[in-house]
Amino acid sequence: MAKLQVAIDLLRIEDAIALATKVSPYIDIIELGTPLIKSEGLSGIRKMKDAFPDKLVLADLKTADAGELEADMAFGAGADYITVLGATGDATIAGAVKSAKAHGKGIVVDTIGVKDRVKRAQEAIALGAEFVELHAGLDEQAEEGYSIQVLIDEAARAGVPVSIAGGVNLGSITAVKQSGVTVAVAGAAIYGAEDPTQAAKELKELLEA
């Protein structure tokens, strides 16, 4: 069954932990979004893992270089997964994978900005990534004509473990699930909801239906 990941794009770790506290019964992976990491640093990762020792914590580092070093830093702070950019070189992904193996953790390759996401996903899995995020970031989502359907179609033909991020919500999660994803990532649909707990509950129910 696909896992549900909440992407927390808030800026204060106290707010992020408060949100995670509300939604955690329905969440498999708690993601500290890139703006949150930039705001709070490694100590934010440590605080989140200390608050939720039984949950998987993903640090959305979007590492672009020094893969092994940055992965070591985040795993040392308690992360279970970090993201590395698919747009970067194979050596950066391989370095991060080396660190993940040493720590017993996992690498997620983020295809944000990559032209051929499916091809890069297949390459990233061959390099040792645990799964690949087919991702349209917040700026791409804001472009005219954006549709999550592109990611859903790519997931269905990827043939490797993938997540989808970029507009997963109550209206799209069933199609996301049917595409065969390993993980569905929901950010604004949860942290921006009037009732985040209810939103997370409904998303989880649809994923499990």
Ligand X SMILES: O=C([C@H](O)CO)[C@H](O)[C@H](O)COP(=O)(O)O
The residue ranges that bind ligand X (CB under 6 A) are 7, 9, 33-35, 60, 135, 137-138, 141, 165-168, 185-189
Measured from the CB of residue 50, what is the shortest distance to ligand X in angstroms?
Answer: 22
- Measured distance CA(151)–CA(133) in Å, rounded: 10
Where is 162: in which H helix or E strand? strand 162-165
Nearer to ligand X, 94 or 170 (CB): 170
Nearer to ligand X, 91 or 146 (CB): 146
- Measured distance CA(190)–CA(19) in Å, rounded: 9
Measured from the CB of residue 136, what is the shortest distance to ligand X in angstroms?
Answer: 7
Minimal CB distance residue for ligand X: 187
Nearer to ligand X, 98 or 202 (CB): 202
Measured from the CB of residue 128, what is the shortest distance to ligand X in angstroms?
Answer: 22
Measured from the CB of residue 17, what is the shortest distance to ligand X in angstroms?
Answer: 17
Asked if 145 and 136 count as a contact pair (C-beta separation under 8 A), the reply is no
Q: Which residue has the tokens 């997540």?
A: 163
- Measured distance CA(61)–CA(74) in Å, rounded: 8
- Measured distance CA(125)–CA(19) in Å, rounded: 32
Measured from the CB of residue 5, what is the shortest distance to ligand X in angstroms?
Answer: 9
Nearer to ligand X, 158 or 165 (CB): 165
Nearer to ligand X, 60 or 70 (CB): 60
Give every CB contact of residue 44 below 8 A, 6+ residues apart in sequence: 13, 16, 32, 36, 37
Measured from the CB of residue 125, what is the shortest distance to ligand X in angstroms?
Answer: 20
Q: State the sign of the Cα–Cα–Cα–Cα dihedral 160, 135, 89, 75.
A: negative
Nearer to ligand X, 35 or 161 (CB): 35
Asked if 82 and 29 count as a contact pair (C-beta separation under 8 A), the reply is no
